[in-house]
Amino acid sequence: MTLHKGGSGTGRPATGRPVNPFYGEADPVSGMTEAPPWHKLPDGPVSPHTAYQFVHDELMLDGNSRLNLATFVTTWMEPQAGVLMAECRDKNMIDKDEYPRTAELENRCVAMLADLWHAPDPAKAVGCSTTGSSEACMLAGMALKRRWMRRNQDRYPTARPNLVMGTNVQVCWEKFCNFWEVEARLVPMDGDRFHLDAASAAELCDENTIGVVAILGSTFDGSYEPVAEICAALDEIQEHRGWDIPVHVDGASGAMIAPFLDPDLEWDFRLPRVASINTSGHKYGLVYPGVGWALWRDQESLPEELVFRVNYLGGDMPTFALNFSRPGAQVAAQYYTFLRLGRAGFRAVQQVTRDVARSMAERIGALGDFRLLTHGDQLPVFAFTTADDVTAYDVFDVSRRMKERGWLIPAYTFPPHREDLSVLRVVCRNGFSHDLADMFLKDLEELLTELRRQTGPLERPANVATAFHH
């Protein structure tokens, strides 16, 4: 999580400030007279109504999550799901003996995903829920490293393990390599190739490669990486060099899109070299944050020594996680969503989302001011930049001015070797309808009339050169 310094930000005067008398619970003239301090505990309690009002009012300054076109995270669920989550928020997922039905729902979700992702034997696939894809990726990386260590006991720890991936990976993979002392071998972008390709991945592999990470949809532009081609290239390496290099598919978003909209695309456990897959239940799994899932092809893919068996609260509990306590609400909501939609329901929801993305991309491309990098036909996500002849403004001007109208759309530069390319990206999620897309396009068209009259892009301080924090 983001680190914050104690007391940072604009401080409230120590003497306190007068407060709205109507914050008082019953009598508006006998309630609180001063607002509580910001950066230290108040001297005494306040009424629940007053505490709520202070927090509620401050949170009004946040952006509207439904208009946030930067996030992949689910921002709308049915009211019944919200009620179910409220009923389960006090249940600690780790207390599996005390909450056996919550644990059973987790097991059912793992079995459903194993079947959805074509595990050779779904009954033998192993998996778990996590706090999100970041934790799931960490667990998958740990399994890759431990399997490599077991195969190379005669050389480790002298030899340094490495992990091959594209420079477009989510930052959690760079964290993994840093925290677990693995060399990150990043394939840079090249020209119009904005993600990992098979040849580049194979070129960086050697006997110390613990695995290759393939992303089923890049957060930079929504494109799928060619998982099957990467696996085929690694098959050739094993045939000629003897290196058996597994693949982990980071399907944070695409693993809940492709099974329903691209069923013939082979990216999952149908490919024997795919050892593990993760996804975010709180993205296109259609659940509020935060829940992720990590699955392994079989028990051999997850070294047993990584699984802790804890005698906790009277039961033997196998666990593989970086944390311990967390609420069971998101797991219950995930099972609710699987039960509620089924395959046909998921297909319908994701198809509408992709249709919205493709329609928006086509209409933005038709404006003439922009050049599309992707079209929303893989993930319901597309990226675009200003056309070559546009000199009056840049993507950062568009992002800033659209924010004035309530729309949160990120502008950012691409990583090496395409730092020269700055783009806008739109993420379409369930709940972002064609009607909202029409409103977005109307605001954008009106804004362009103003931006075209600028003499040039507005200057930005170097430390805020991007509005996108990947």
Average pLDDT for 281-286: 97
What pLDDT shows up at residue 149? 95
Q: Residue 412, Cα to own-chain centre: how many angstroms?
A: 17
Q: Is the pLDDT of residue 81 over 70?
A: yes
For 244-336, list the strands marked E by DSSP.
247-250, 274-280, 292-296, 308-312, 315-319
If phi > 0 it is left, if psi is from -120 to 50 it is alpha, else beta; for residue 244 that is beta
> How far apart are alpha carbons 310 and 308 in whole angstroms?
6
What pLDDT shows up at residue 38? 87
pTM for this predicted structure: 0.90
Number of residues that make up the chain: 470
179-191 as b/e, with b when 16 or more CB fall inside 10 Å?
A: ebebebbbbebee
Question: Across the chain, what does the average pLDDT equal?
Answer: 90
Average pLDDT for 369-376: 98
Q: How many CA atoms lie within 13 A of 170 on its CB side?
A: 24
- Please report which confidence band the pLDDT of residue 321 belongs to, taking 50, 70 and 90 as the band edges: confident
Higher pLDDT, 95 or 345: 345
> How far apart are alpha carbons 71 and 69 in whole angstroms?
6
Higher pLDDT, 322 or 427: 427
What pLDDT shows up at residue 394? 97
1-16 confidence digits (pLDDT tens): 566 666 655 555 555 6
Give the DSSP per-residue string, 200-250: HHHHH--TTEEEEEEEBS-TTT-PBP-HHHHHHHHHHHHHHH-----EEEE
- If DSSP codes are grouped into helix, strand and coil, which group holds residue 92? strand
> How far apart are alpha carbons 331 and 102 in whole angstroms?
8
Average pLDDT for 5-31: 61
435-468 confidence digits (pLDDT tens): 999 999 999 999 999 999 999 998 765 555 554 4
150-169 confidence digits (pLDDT tens): 999 988 888 999 999 999 99
Rounded-to-10 torsion of CA 441, 446, 448, 450:
-160
Q: What does DSSP say about strands 292-296 and 274-280: parallel, antiparallel, or unpaired? A: antiparallel
Average pLDDT for 97-116: 91
379-395 confidence digits (pLDDT tens): 999 999 999 999 999 99
357-371 confidence digits (pLDDT tens): 999 999 999 999 999
